[in-house]
Chain A
Amino acid sequence: MGEAIVITSGKGGVGKTTTTANIGTALALQDKKVCLIDTDIGLRNLDVILGLENRIIFDIIDVIEGRCKLQAALVKDKRFDCLHLLPAAQSSDKNEVTPEGIKELVDELKPDYDYILIDCPAGIEQGYKNAVAGADKAIVVTTPEKSSVRDADRIIGLLEQEDLEPPHLVINRIRKHMMDSGDMLDVDDIVSTLSVELLGVIMDDEDVIRASHHGNPVAFQPDTKASICYRNISRRILGESVPLMSFDEDKGIMVKVKKLLGMK
């Protein structure tokens, strides 16, 4: 029986979809059977980040309204056999789905997968309620900015009212030098404000944008900072205890020389 995890944030643009795609990829790399559900109906993105847009035939609304079987709507990933996507509809809106509809769907998927990751839309309205309905656990994504921490706090308050395990936190887009200079909230501040367990941090990395642009989740790359962060998160989800990645940047003399010469 699989576990359904909703990935949410309240605020938009903090990296829910990217996080969903990458945690899914990282779990698939560990040979887990993973299904990603995009519940951002009307504004679907997850398929784009995974590079699966061209393969979509049916979507979640087709399944809920009985126009096709659930199996027919699932899109198999081009890299892994064990990673599937249930895409959102682009032409409907969020009010056409009910929380019960999503819950039924997730329950139907659970026996076939180890993990079901539900990508939640921004906001706290109908779309959020739909996404949370089927989940057993929640991951809250925030960035080290005050506005997104405020919204994460709000979302955690709402999640506490649901029948879920206490949510876990992922802090996205960390910039070491800005945290050091006090222009960004630091990790400890955020964790102590939100008082939830930290699942992982993800360094701000151009490779994430580059990878999304090409439809290849960054977690697939072997050695970029962000991909290591995502893979660490997936290992923590699997129950391993992995220490947080050190934020310190390389300080070797060659790096400095390269920097001076504009090579890095």
Chain B
Amino acid sequence: MGCPKMTETNLYLTMKGTNEGIIVYLDDQCSFITLLNELGSQVKSDTIENTTEVIINCQNRYLQDWQREEIRQVVEEQSSLKVKSIESNVLSHEEALTWFDQSTIKPFVKTVRSGQVLHVEGDALILGDINPGATVNATGNIFVLGQLKGIAHAGYAEGTEHVVVASYMNPNQIRIANKISRAPDYEMQGSSREFAYINQETGQIELEQIHNLQKIRPNLTDIVERGL
């Protein structure tokens, strides 16, 4: 957050100019209708230059999607301001759970066996082997502290940034987001301590030694950012 440069206050709205742009703080105690009316009249009378982007911060008020949309409409119809984002201090219980799910590492102490399919929200930590014919799907990364001989699918939703890390890598297939790579047709020995990722230049899944992980995915553990 940059330091405040200009502050304008009335009963329901507080505007602050910061380095990030203009932030409009909305009162979180009044009714939503009052707020909309106030916002409408305020932005209309405002003399701010055209096509400036604003960030709306509704503080401790929980806004449903249609309410967010309405606020956006009021601001953009009444003035030529652009709403860059709508922020809030509160999350619904459901959103919080989803976020928690997406951002935690889920450990499993078991051998995943042929025919079994493990579906994990967030990162999966497998303390055991993934046997041939077994599948592990995770919306986040997959870490295997054992032998990966089956199928691992990281970034199950569409996370092209996610990786599959295994202490012994000899998989049937590795899938990341919508990319698939399979083992060659000839017999091969697996390799130790490797990880698979999508190389953005080639667009293909590639394998690397684990010590290169910090170079290739330095933000791997910034899980707090994920899911929001």
What per-residue 1/0 map shows which CB atoms of A157-180 lie under 8 Å from chain B? 110100000000000000000000
Q: Does B121 contact A (CB under 8 A)?
A: no
Which residue on chain A has the smallest CB distance to residue B129? A195
Measured CA separation A115–B115 after assembly (Å) = 31
Contact B111 A150 (CB under 8 A): no
Interface residues on B, range: 10 to 19
Which residues does chain A contribute within 8 Å of B111, judged by CB atoms?
A: 195
Contact residues of B: prevailing secondary structure: loop
CB distance from A26 to the nearest CB of B (A): 29
Contact B114 A154 (CB under 8 A): yes
Interface residue ranges of A131-160 to B (CB < 8 Å): 150-151, 153-154, 156-158, 160
Interface residues of A, count at CB 8 A: 11
* Residue of B111, B129, B132, B149 most packed against chain A (CB within 10 A): B111
Which residues does chain A contribute within 8 Å of B113, judged by CB atoms?
A: 153-154, 156-157, 160
Which residue on chain A has the smallest CB distance to residue B110? A160
Q: Does A193 contact B (CB under 8 A)?
A: yes
CB distance from B116 to the nearest CB of A (A): 5
Measured CA separation A151–B132 after assembly (Å) = 10
CB distance from A203 to the nearest CB of B (A): 26
Interface residue ranges of B103-154 to A (CB < 8 Å): 111, 113-116, 128-129, 131-134, 149
CB distance from A144 to the nearest CB of B (A): 15
Measured CA separation A82–B28 after assembly (Å) = 84
Which residues does chain B contribute within 8 Å of A156, judged by CB atoms?
A: 113
Which residues does chain B contribute within 8 Å of A150, judged by CB atoms?
A: 114, 132-133
Contact A193 B129 (CB under 8 A): yes
Measured CA separation A205–B221 after assembly (Å) = 56
Which residues does chain B contribute within 8 Å of A160, judged by CB atoms?
A: 113
Which residues does chain B contribute within 8 Å of A195, judged by CB atoms?
A: 111, 128-129
Measured CA separation A156–B132 after assembly (Å) = 13
Which residues does chain B contribute within 8 Å of A158, judged by CB atoms?
A: 115
CB distance from A140 to the nearest CB of B (A): 11
Interface residue ranges of B174-191 to A (CB < 8 Å): none
CB distance from A158 to the nearest CB of B (A): 8
Contact B115 A157 (CB under 8 A): yes
* Residue of A153, A160, A194 most packed against chain B (CB within 10 A): A153
Which residues does chain A contribute within 8 Å of B115, judged by CB atoms?
A: 153-154, 157-158
Interface residue ranges of B64-95 to A (CB < 8 Å): none
Measured CA separation A157–B117 after assembly (Å) = 11
CB distance from B6 to the nearest CB of A (A): 65
Measured CA separation A212–B116 after assembly (Å) = 36
Which residues does chain A contribute within 8 Å of B133, judged by CB atoms?
A: 150, 153-154
* Residue of B115, B116, B129, B133 most packed against chain A (CB within 10 A): B115
Which residues does chain B contribute within 8 Å of A157, judged by CB atoms?
A: 113-116
Which residue on chain A has the smallest CB distance to residue B112? A157
Using a CB–CB cutoff of 8 Å, the interface residues on chain A facing chain B are 150-151, 153-154, 156-158, 160, 193-195
30 contacts across the A-B interface (CB closer than 8 A):
A150-B114, A150-B132, A150-B133, A151-B114, A153-B113, A153-B114, A153-B115, A153-B131, A153-B132, A153-B133, A153-B134, A154-B113, A154-B114, A154-B115, A154-B133, A156-B113, A157-B113, A157-B114, A157-B115, A157-B116, A158-B115, A160-B113, A193-B129, A193-B131, A193-B132, A193-B149, A194-B131, A195-B111, A195-B128, A195-B129
Please provide the 9 A-B residue pairs with the shortest distance between their CB atoms, ordered closest to farther: A157-B113, A153-B114, A154-B114, A154-B115, A153-B113, A153-B131, A157-B116, A150-B114, A195-B111
Other than the given A153-B133, A158-B115, 7 more pairs (CB < 8 A) read: A153-B115, A153-B132, A153-B134, A154-B133, A193-B131, A194-B131, A195-B128
